[in-house]
Amino acid sequence: MRTRLLGRLTVNTVVAVSVLYTLLPVLWLLLAATKDRDALFSSDLLSFSDFSFGQNLGDLFAMDGGLYGRWYLNSLLYAVLGAAVGALVSVACGYAFDKYRFRHKEKLFGLVLAAVMVPQTVLALPLYLMASEAGLVNTFWAVFVPVLFNPFGVYLGRIFSRGYVPDEVLEAARVDGAGELTTYVRVALRMLGPGLVTVFLFQLTAIWNNFFLPMVMLSDQDLYPVSLGLYQWNSSASVSPEYYPVVIMGSLLAVVPLILAFVLLQRFWRSGLTAGAVK
């Protein structure tokens, strides 16, 4: 009994430390967003005086002609649309790897697994050269197109297809006269709903936090995502300290879409992570 209690205490301690490690930066960000510039430099974050949340919010959307609003919309477009299309592509590829037989299938899937281990920063320069040859540098497509292809999403798509879509159901649909595309769209894709949401959330997080690729591809501020725009403002804050409060407020607002996505889609996400656990 004593050993069991000690083990439970150890586990609870590790979990509590992990939670604090995760939440304390968010708490600091929330408190810092309510302070003006003088309170930030005096490190007086726990005081309820100098409450400037509304002022900082107004300054954020007024700074540099309202550029932050444009950056926010850009990030939503890159992330939401890119994650939706990317998830559909990844799940479709994973379904094909799972349900169809073709030459060198496992070798090609091995290349997909190898691509999972390649850091995205390594691909930035080749992608830039390819975009330059195609005349896409400093355009929306230079950032949008590369994020549509996710090797890890293809791997997850195959796992979800194996766990959620029985071969017998597909055979029954084919016997009823359904073609391959109809079978996938009307039968398999509905079963792959939880997996599709899971891949979407992973893709959404990766694209929203994407920084290096936009920095390489874009020079027009009107095309910047939030991450790159806040980095530029933070670099200017050493010369113009008035940027500090708006950078903190902008960072706080930048985490809101991800939190909302995970909360609203949590039911599908949790069921998707356990796909195949009892198979």
Cβ proximity of 74 and 224 under 8 Å:
yes
Mean pLDDT for the stretch of residues 226-236:
92
Mean pLDDT for the stretch of residues 117-127:
86
Q: Is the pLDDT of residue 278 over 50?
A: no
Q: How far apart are CA 183 and CA 189, in angstroms?
A: 9
Q: Is the pLDDT of residue 275 over 60?
A: no
- Return the pLDDT at 8: 83
Cβ proximity of 188 and 165 under 8 Å:
yes
From 73, 158, 170, select the one nearest 112 (Cα to Cα).
Answer: 158
Give the distance, in angstroms, between the CA of residue 113 and the centroid of all CA atoms in the same chain.
Answer: 20
- Inter-helix orientation angle 105-116/82-99, to 10°: 140
Q: Is the pLDDT of residue 276 over 60?
A: no
Q: Is the pLDDT of residue 45 over 70?
A: no
- Return the pLDDT at 227: 92
Non-local (6+) Cβ contacts of 203 within 8 A are 82, 83, 86, 87, 90, 147, 150, 153
Q: Is the pLDDT of residue 279 over 50?
A: no
Cβ proximity of 252 and 33 under 8 Å:
yes
Give me the percent of the chain exceeding a pLDDT of 90. Answer: 44
Report the length, in residues, of the chain: 279
Q: How far apart are CA 93 and CA 100, in angstroms?
A: 10
Q: Indicate the SS3 state at residue 35.
A: strand
Q: How far apart are CA 36 and CA 245, in angstroms?
A: 6
270: part of which helix (H) or strand (E)? helix 266-273
pTM flag (> 0.95): no
Q: Is the pLDDT of residue 77 over 80?
A: yes
Q: What are phi and psi of 53, to 5 degrees?
A: -60, -50
Has domain 89-168+194-279 been given CATH number 1.10.3720.10?
yes
- Considering only 129-143, 146-160, 233-247, which range has the smallest mean pLDDT? 233-247
Q: How far apart are CA 271 and CA 261, in angstroms?
A: 15
Mean pLDDT for the stretch of residues 234-262:
88
What tens digit of pLDDT does each residue of 174-219 get?
888 888 899 999 889 988 988 899 899 999 999 999 899 999 999 9
Average pLDDT, the chain: 87
| Biggest distance spanned by C-alpha atoms of the chain | 73
For the chain, the C-alpha Rg in angstroms (whole number) is 23
Cβ proximity of 226 and 71 under 8 Å:
yes
Give me the percent of the chain exceeding a pLDDT of 70. Answer: 93
What tens digit of pLDDT does each residue of 138-168 get?
999 999 999 888 999 999 999 999 888 888 9
Q: How far apart are CA 49 and CA 44, in angstroms?
A: 9
- Considering only 37-46, 66-75, 133-142, which range has the smallest mean pLDDT? 37-46
Give the distance, in angstroms, between the CA of residue 73 and the centroid of all CA atoms in the same chain.
Answer: 15
Q: Is the pLDDT of residue 43 over 70?
A: no
